[in-house]
Amino acid sequence: MPDTARLRLPAPAKLNRMLHITGRRGDGYHELQTLFQFLDHGDTLSLAPRDDGELRLTPTLPGVADGDNLILRAARALREATGCRRGADLHLEKRLPMGGGLGGGSSDAATALLGLNRLWGLELSLDALAELGLTLGADVPVFVRGHAAWAEGVGERLTPVTLDSPWFVVVHPGVAVATPAVFQAPQLTRDTPPITMARALQGGTASWRNDCEPTVRELHPEIGEALDWLRDRAPAMLTGTGACVFARLDREADAQALLAEMPSRWQAFAARGRNRSPLHDALDR
Ligand SMILES: C[C@](O)(CO)[C@H](O)COP(=O)(O)OP(=O)(O)OC[C@H]1O[C@@H](n2ccc(N)nc2=O)[C@H](O)[C@@H]1O
Ligand SMILES: Nc1ncnc2c1ncn2[C@@H]1O[C@H](COP(=O)(O)OP(=O)(O)OP(=O)(O)O)[C@@H](O)[C@H]1O
């Protein structure tokens, strides 16, 4: 196969720069208001066409049956929606911790949708791909659209925004958070009054918080410890339902200094905030 047919695309992480829970729907899902921003750090997905119609993904992820892998689910959803019968070899370089609140699985799915759309010459619009993505997970549409966004509903009603793009130090405190356990916790507050996007943006970083934090601290004291450690040094928050927490820094050197000081029991990395997804930058090149 010609090498030009091969694609190697980023699947970046996201941060929830703030997250409010404003209600609970009849189906148990929660109504959120959140600001999504991308990082220039994430997984990488390589894609190449196959002539035999097979979909193959390497490697297998620990704890995820291949049939459940969001990359293969995205590929199948795309074939069903379009009637396309083509196959692909997919290879994932996984860097993002699973269940970390960084949206890794959702981002992988979005990269698979946009990458295969290109590889197979399907020419589906971003609107169509975002709609398909929403059937795979609430966080998939923002990765498909590729712009930092104010999100409402369960995260699917998106308005593009431009946020400050500082450096972040992202810390994984080494515990796994089950998102459903956080959303099912009786003590979780679900009654933050809805605000306008303008008010959220005017308030700025000093006013931003994550409504999941008190519950996540109770369920996982290690995450509270990491937050307290970071907050002694820089403004810090929880992303999604955790486990990752992040500190905001103005300069790369400050981020590197913070990393150097970090207790070795935590995994951490430094990355820059991005208002345009690195996936979309790569597809434009
Ligand atoms: C909290 C966020 O991280 C914000 O970006 C995401 O909305 C979570 O997205 P996710 O990890 O992809 O979660 P999903 O796989 O969609 O949902 C896992 C479970 O969390 C609960 N859930 C999730 C999202 C939401 N808005 N309300 C919920 O109640 C549901 O019980 C759901 O079964
Ligand atoms: N390609 C994939 N990469 C990661 N997780 C996957 C993938 N496919 C399926 N999953 C499943 O999805 C779960 C959530 O993974 P993900 O990395 O998206 O979590 P997350 O960072 O907490 O996301 P969010 O911020 O949306 O809560 C994993 O625990 C895993 O069981």
Other Cβ atoms within 10 Å of 2 Cβ, number: 7
Helices 104-119/126-134 angle, 10° precision: 140
Task: Indicate if ligand 1 lies below 6 Å from the C-beta of 196.
Answer: no
Model confidence pLDDT, tens digit, residues 210-267: 999 999 999 999 999 999 999 999 999 999 999 999 999 999 999 999 999 999 999 9
Q: How confident is the model at residue 13 (pLDDT cuts 50, 70, 90)?
A: very high
Q: Report which of 256, 233, 98 is spatially closest to residue 174, judged by C-alpha positions.
A: 98
94 in catalytic set: no
Which numbered ligand comes closest to the C-alpha of 28?
A: 1
Task: Indicate if ligand 2 lies below 6 Å from the C-beta of 138.
Answer: no
Task: Supply 254's token pair.
Answer: 């400050």
Distance 138 CA to ligand 1 centre (A): 7
- 45-70 average pLDDT score: 96
Task: Supply 269's token pair.
Answer: 């990395």
Could you give all domains of the chain from N- to C-terminal order, each with its CATH number?
3-161 (3.30.230.10), 167-274 (3.30.70.890)
pTM of this prediction?
A: 0.96
- 123-150 average pLDDT score: 97
Half-sphere exposure of 15 (CA within 13 A, CB side): 32
Q: What is the Cα–Cα distance from 54 to 69, expressed in whole angstroms? A: 16
Q: Is 98 annotated as a binding residue?
A: yes
Task: Indicate if ligand 2 lies below 6 Å from the C-beta of 117.
Answer: no
Which of 43, 108, 139, 254 is catalytic? The answer is 139
Model confidence pLDDT, tens digit, residues 64-109: 998 999 999 999 999 999 999 999 999 999 999 998 999 999 999 9
Which of 17, 183, 244 has the most ligand 1 atoms within 8 A of CB, as the residue to mutate? 183
